[in-house]
Amino acid sequence: MKKLRFSQQGTLLVALTSAQGLLAPYAFAVSNDYIISSQQSDVQLSASYNLVQVTNTGSALSSVGSALSIGQGVAVTLFDNDGVISAEGTSQNTNTYSYGLKNEGTIDTIDNSGSIKMTSASNNYYSGSAVNLTETSQVGTLINSGTIEGPDTSYNYGGNYNQGGITNSGTLGTLKNISSGVITGRTGVSNSGKIDLLENAGVISSTTTNSSGYNYNNGAIYNTGTINTLHNTGTIGNINTSTSYYNSGIFNANTGIIKSLTNDGKIASNYVGVYNQGQIDTLTNNGDISGNLVGIYNGNANSNSTAASTIINNGTVSGSYGFYATNYNSQTTTTLINNGTITGSAQGVYITGSNAASNAIINNGTITGKGNAIFTNGTNGSALTITNSGIIEGNITSNNGAALEFIGGTDKQGVLTGVRTVSDDETSSSTNGIGTIASNNDVIFRSGSMLLNDNINIASLTTHSLSSDDSTATVGTVLNDAAQLQINAPIAITGNYHQNAGAALIVGVSDTASASAISPRIPAMAA
């Protein structure tokens, strides 16, 4: 018989003969399990197991270092926590990291229905995380129905991003946080490795209380690696008063790649709901995304970076700026498709860019902003095309040389109008005032059907952006190429106006509708 080695935690099954009470031949078997059913400290696993389990009466604790660690080269089929795994951080500047669960090996499935926690000493620069999946870590599935809680007072120091609820710098197949699951910490989930699928039906949040400049990765989800699919049906956001854009609901850094982001739940932040500096191939919102400053920020930092190619909103996006985009890449078109509602207390949609960047808005819903419904600020041949079969409530402004091009609806008439004159949108007597389309470059009504309830002003403009830069204006031209423009109220067009033979300007229900132009005057406009 092969010699067997048993550990204190191993399980020895001995089969006895009922008749003689003797050991039967080959009756020895080892269940390769590691069970923790009472309190243990600083558990380090260097051998492989089918099952590693912390029962509901068990705990793994540590005052420094890792409460439970799985070493490099170790393979575990199932890691099951029904109890408590907890580590405490050390005092400031000790250069020591602590983790609740640290994995350097291979685990098929991690199933947590208990508590995994890492608490940090006040102002500890070197703290750690509740779950740390290192560069050598390979995990098939991580399921959380319990609590994973990282520190909320630690700093990002020396470029360390292994701080928060779950930090992954290895390979993780599926991270699934079910409806009862809570993942929280200075960063809820921090990924610098690869995650194939991240599904959240519970709560992922950032709870940091620090306002230091060291807090560079403290969003609810912070990504510098790759996430193929991110799907939220729960709540992602911060529950603090931090006003750093790093502390967003989802922060995708300039090296981050998210191939598909779908929100069917709620993403909220005191600053930015979704902040993207990297690459998101498709962002689809069917729920609610909000930020006190910006609902969705999508930005190319330079000419060779790639931000979100397509943003689709079927729900609600809101903030001081509902949607804010910067595009400095001539090879990438930022396309915003709105089938829902985008609202900004200052600007509904703000788009800026240069280097001949092309941007497009397709609106089948409602875009509204008290300052501007849409504000674009672009240079060096940048352009914005607005295809509208919905409602755009508020001013539309193009500053610093970005041309405006409108395409109306085919089956449904697009509406260009001012904001409501009554603040309560539910008041039946609320009416829309006349808005303004302002540009220092061309305004082109290309095709389709539009109800125009905006004055058009081709004149000097002033930029109103996050950076508040001013610029010099240049007068452009208003061209009705082949659109069907209906006017139901008196409006004025100031600037150079041209109308092609295939275009139509239709005076609607109001017999007082009129307009004027610098050159030439619009024919047959006065009833």
Q: State how far the Cα of 221 lies from the Cα of 169, in Å rounded to an integer.
A: 14
Q: Which amino acid is at 59?
A: S
Closest among 159, 158, 166 to 128, alpha carbons compared: 166
Taking the CA atoms of the chain, what radius of gyration do you get in angstroms? 30
- The total of other beta-carbon atoms located within 10 Å of residue 85's CB is 28
Q: State how far the Cα of 285 lies from the Cα of 34, in Å rounded to an integer.
A: 43
Residue with tokens 């609202």: 343
Burial class for 500, CB neighbours closer than 10 Å (0-12, 13-18, 19+): exposed
**pLDDT at residue 205, rounded to an integer:** 94
Consecutive 10-residue runs of the chain (527 residues): their mean pLDDT? 36 33 34 90 96 98 92 97 90 71 98 94 69 98 98 59 85 99 94 98 84 61 96 89 70 92 96 91 97 90 57 98 82 85 97 73 97 83 87 91 87 93 52 86 93 86 46 66 93 86 79 38 35
**pLDDT at residue 192, rounded to an integer:** 95
For the chain, what is the largest distance between any 2 Cα atoms, rounded to a whole number of angstroms?
115
- pTM of this prediction? 0.85
The secondary structure element, H or E, covering residue 505 is: strand 504-507
Q: State how far the Cα of 392 lies from the Cα of 114, in Å rounded to an integer.
A: 49
Closest among 100, 101, 48 to 77, alpha carbons compared: 48
Q: State how far the Cα of 63 lies from the Cα of 42, in Å rounded to an integer.
A: 9
> DSSP code of 276?
E
Q: State how far the Cα of 71 lies from the Cα of 102, in Å rounded to an integer.
A: 8
Q: State how far the Cα of 344 lies from the Cα of 164, in Å rounded to an integer.
A: 32
Would you list the domain boundaries of the chain? 300-309+322-339+360-419+433-461+473-509
Torsion, Cα 214 219 225 226, to 10 degrees, reads: -170
Q: State how far the Cα of 368 lies from the Cα of 335, in Å rounded to an integer.
A: 18
**pLDDT at residue 514, rounded to an integer:** 41
> DSSP code of 499?
E
**pLDDT at residue 465, rounded to an integer:** 46
Closest among 131, 133, 263, 140 to 196, alpha carbons compared: 140
Q: State how far the Cα of 266 lies from the Cα of 289, in Å rounded to an integer.
A: 6
Q: State how far the Cα of 118 lies from the Cα of 459, in Å rounded to an integer.
A: 59
**pLDDT at residue 173, rounded to an integer:** 99
**pLDDT at residue 464, rounded to an integer:** 45
Secondary structure in 3-state letters for 383-418: EEEEEECCEEECCEEEECCCEEEEECECCCCEEEEC
**Can the peptide bond before residue 520 be classed as cis, meaning omega within 30 degrees of 0?**
yes
- The total of other beta-carbon atoms located within 10 Å of residue 446's CB is 17
